[in-house]
Amino acid sequence: PVRYISNHSSGKQGHAIAGALAAMGAEVRLVSGPVTISDPSGVSVTRVETAREMLAAVEGLLPADAAIMVAAVADWRTETESDQKIKKEPGKGAPPLTMTENPDILRTIGHHEKRPKLVIGFAAETDDLIANATAKLSRKGADMIIANDVSTKTGIGGAQGVMGGDRNRVRIISHDGVEEWPELSKQETAERIARLVADRLTGKR
């Protein structure tokens, strides 16, 4: 109830994409983990706390024309959960934690019998951005991976970095190759992604 393991993410980029698609007239369902930002307008929001809840919520929304998977889902969770705070005891040292794998939501949806026509995933990488994102494209069954460099050394945003910041610089990796976008606000990035989704769904690109 007190200590937990999670992937840190503000939800800003995902919320901005949901809002941008709704502004273009799409019917948008947003499944969001715990965030402190407000819901985008014109979007129906389902709140979840765990990866398993997120998978169930996303599967419950199928069929859909497109799925855009932006959440920084934790790959692992602790095998057991304590209903009382795990206390620090003098001389006892750190408690051993056994981890177990969370479901991979993107991979499940990318190979789903009700797979949306367009499946887009994200990749937050600290190294070998293009190689890692390209590998993810086929492994996850995605049509597109939007990659951002989150290392504070080479990524943007200085000490704050992409996570939690308001700016982003992404590369779009698809079966057609790699497209580099300039550093933009997360809002501008979202608007471009929304246009890209619309173009893909209508066969314009």
Q: Which of 51, 147, 150, 162: binder of ligand C5P (CB under 6 A)?
A: 51
Answer yes or no whether residue 104 interacts with ligand C5P by CB under 6 A.
Answer: yes
Verify binding: residue 136, ligand C5P, rule CB under 6 A: yes
* Shortest Cβ 50–ligand C5P spacing (Å): 11
Report d(CA 66, CA 41) in Å as an integer: 19
Contact 75, 101 (CB under 8 A): yes
How far does CA 190 lie from the centroid of its chain? 13
* Binding residue (CB under 6 A) for ligand C5P from 21, 28, 31, 69: 69
146: tokens are 């939007």
Choice from 105, 144, 173, 193 touching ligand C5P (CB under 6 A): 105
Tokens 């999670």 belong to which residue? 6
By CB under 6 A, is residue 122 in contact with ligand C5P? yes
Regarding 75 and contact with ligand C5P (CB under 6 A), the answer is yes
Query: Which of 17, 73, 129, 150 is close enough to bind ligand C5P by CB under 6 A?
Result: 73
Buried b (16+ CB within 10 A) or exposed e, 172-189: bbbeeeeeebeebebbbb
Edge-first strand order for the sheet with 177-180 is 66-69, 118-125, 144-149, 170-174, 177-180
163 touches ligand C5P (CB under 6 A) = no
Q: How many CB atoms lie within 10 A of CB 160?
A: 12
CA distance 124 to 66: 21
Contacting residue, 6, 10, 46, 102, with ligand C5P by CB under 6 A = 102
Going by C-beta distance under 8 Å and a sequence separation of 6 or more, which residues neighbour residue 96? none
Q: Respond yes or no: is residue 148 known to be catalytic.
A: no
| Contact stretch for ligand C5P (CB under 6 A) within 28-36, 98-106, 166-174, 191-199 | 98-106
Which of 30-38, 78-86, 120-128, 197-205 is the region at the interface with ligand C5P (rule: CB under 6 A)?
120-128
Q: Which residues bind ligand C5P (CB under 6 A)?
A: 51, 69-71, 73, 75, 102, 104-106, 121-123, 136
